Amino acid sequence: MVVFSVYPVFLRFKIGNRSSAEGTGPFARSLRVVGSGLRTGWLILGITLLLILICEAGLRLALAVRDRLMDRPVTEQGIRARKIDRLARTEAYRGVEWAHEYFTELQSVRPFVWRPYVYWRHPPHRSRYVNLNRDGLRATWNPPPRETAGDNPPPVRLFTFGASTMWGYGARDDHTIASSLSKRLHTRGYRAQVTNRGQPGYVDTQAVVALLRCLHRGEIPDIALFFGGANEVVASRKHAEAGVSVNEWQRRLEFDLLDRPQSLLRAFGQRLLAEHFRGFNRFLAGLKRRHRSPTDRLPVDPPNDGLAHRILGVYAINLAFVESLGRRYGFASLFYWQPTLFSKRRRSPGEQAVAARLSATEKTFDEIYRRARQSAALHSRPGFREISGLFDGLDGPHYLDMWHLSEPGNRLIAAAMAADVIALIEQHRAGGE
C-alpha cells in the first residue's frame, strides 16, 4: 500500500502549498476535490489489486495443496517432468533406455512458426534424436551418395506428406516411417532420396498445398506419398464441416486482431491470465469444464451421412488433384488411409486402456473408416491404399496413443509402402526402356 499512497500524498502536499498562497478560492477548492477523487480512486485501485494478488496467492496455495494430496506435480517443471515420464513409460517403450531422453528432447522443440497457406511448420531444431532443418523438415535416413555414379540413374526423389505420425512423433530421426522406408528400399537395392515433409497437425488438404508449394519452388518429386485420414475425421467432426484444418476455430479467432480491439484485448487478457495468474486460470478452466455444454465437446455419435460423405469427398478431390498434377509434372502419387488404434482389433493391455479412455470417439472413427473401406470412388483410384487393418492380426503394443506408432509400428507401415514404391519404380523403368 505504500506504493499506491505516494502519489496522493504528493498531490495533497502541492495542493496545500497552493491553497496557503492563493487562499480558499474556487480554484483551490476545485483542486482539493480533484485531488481527493484521485486519491480515493488510487486507493481503490491499490486495494483491488492487493485483493486480486491475495486471491491469486490463496488459489495457488489451495491448488498446490490439492495437487500434493492427489500426487500431482505442482510447478511447471514438475508438470513437464511428469509428462515426459508418462510418455517414456508407454507400454511400447517400457524399458527402452533412450525413451526418456527422446521425450525430453521432444518437449524442447519450439512452438510452430507461421508459413503461408499451410498455417504453420516447426522451426529448426537440433538434438540427438530430433533434428529439423531450416525449412522445419525432419531429418531422414538416406544412404550416402555414391562417389562415382557412372551410368547408374540418379536416386528416386520421394516426398512423404502427412501429419504427426508421418513426421515421427514417438520415433527417433532414423526410425520414422520415412527413414524406415528409405532403409527398406536401400536393402532391396533401390536408390532413393526420401524427404519427410510431414508436419504435426496437418490435414490432407494442407499436405496437398505443401506439395503445391514444392512445385512453386521447382522441387518436383518422382513419387509423392501421402499418409493420413485420422486428422480429417477429428477436424471435420469438431467443426461439423469437411475439409477444414485442425483447430480452425482458433485461426478464425486470431484473424485480423489488430482491427478488432475488443478481440485483441480478450486475447491479451487470456494470455495474461494463463502466464501470470495461474491460480485464477486453473480455477476458471475447472469451472468451464464443469459447465461446458455438450456442443463444445467432440461429438461422440456417428457422423450424419452428409458430413461423412463430404469428408471422403474432399479426400477424393485432393487425391484426383494430385494425380492431375502428377500427369502434368511427371511424378507418381500414393495415398495411404492410415490405421489407428480403433482399427486394430487385437490390442495389447496398454492399448486396451488407451482405447477405453477414448471410447467416446471410437464410434465416429469406426463409421467413417468403414465408409472409406467401402468407397468405390476411392478404390477406383490406382494410387489409393486403405491400410487401416494392417495391425489387425498382430499381438504386442504398436500404438503410443490413438494413432501415433512405435518404431516397430513405423517399420511395418514402411514395409507396406515399400512394395508399392518398388512397383512404381519398376513401372517407370519399364516405360523408360
- Three cell numbers written together for 308: 461423412
Average of per-residue pLDDT across 405-424: 95
What are the backbone dihedrals phi and psi of residue 402, each rounded to the nearest 5 degrees, phi first?
-70, -35
Residue 287 has pLDDT above 80, yes or no: no
pLDDT-derived band at 13, boundaries 50, 70, 90: very low
Residue 19 has pLDDT above 50, yes or no: no
Which among 6-15, 29-38, 193-202, 303-312 has the top mean pLDDT? 193-202
pLDDT-derived band at 296, boundaries 50, 70, 90: very low
Q: What integer pLDDT is reported at residue 209 of this predicted model?
A: 97
Higher-scoring residue by pLDDT: 61, 308: 308
Q: How many CB atoms lie within 10 A of CB 341?
A: 23
State pTM to two decimals. Answer: 0.80
Average of per-residue pLDDT across 334-359: 90
Asked if residue 331 lies in contact with residue 221, where contact means CB atoms within 8 angstroms, the answer is: yes
Average of per-residue pLDDT across 358-381: 89
Residue 395 has pLDDT above 60, yes or no: yes
**How many whole angstroms from its chain centre is CA 213?**
21
d(CA 159, CA 192): 10
Average of per-residue pLDDT across 251-264: 76
d(CA 279, CA 206): 37
Average of per-residue pLDDT across 355-372: 87
- Three cell numbers written together for 34: 480533484
Average of per-residue pLDDT across 205-223: 97
Sign of CA dihedral 155, 160, 165, 167: positive
- The fraction of the chain above a pLDDT of 90, given in percent, is 45
Average of per-residue pLDDT across 97-116: 91
d(CA 351, CA 403): 11
Q: pLDDT digit string (tens) for 139-151? A: 999 998 875 555 5
d(CA 385, CA 319): 11
Which among 69-78, 167-176, 421-430 has the top mean pLDDT? 167-176
Residue 407 has pLDDT above 90, yes or no: yes
Q: pLDDT digit string (tens) for 184-196? A: 999 999 999 999 9
Which among 34-38, 112-116, 214-218, 293-297 has the top mean pLDDT? 214-218
User: How many alpha carbons lie under 13 Å from residue 210 in its C-beta half-sphere?
Assistant: 27
Residue 432 has pLDDT above 70, yes or no: no
Q: What integer pLDDT is reported at residue 268 of this predicted model?
A: 64
**DSSP letter string, 268-306:** HHHHHHHHH-HHHHHHHHHHHHHT--GGGSPP-SPPPHH
Residue 137 has pLDDT above 70, yes or no: yes
Residue 155 has pLDDT above 50, yes or no: yes
Residue 297 has pLDDT above 60, yes or no: no
Q: What integer pLDDT is reported at residue 75 of this predicted model?
A: 61
Residue 247 has pLDDT above 50, yes or no: yes
Which of 264-273, 326-335, 365-374 has the lowest average pLDDT?
264-273
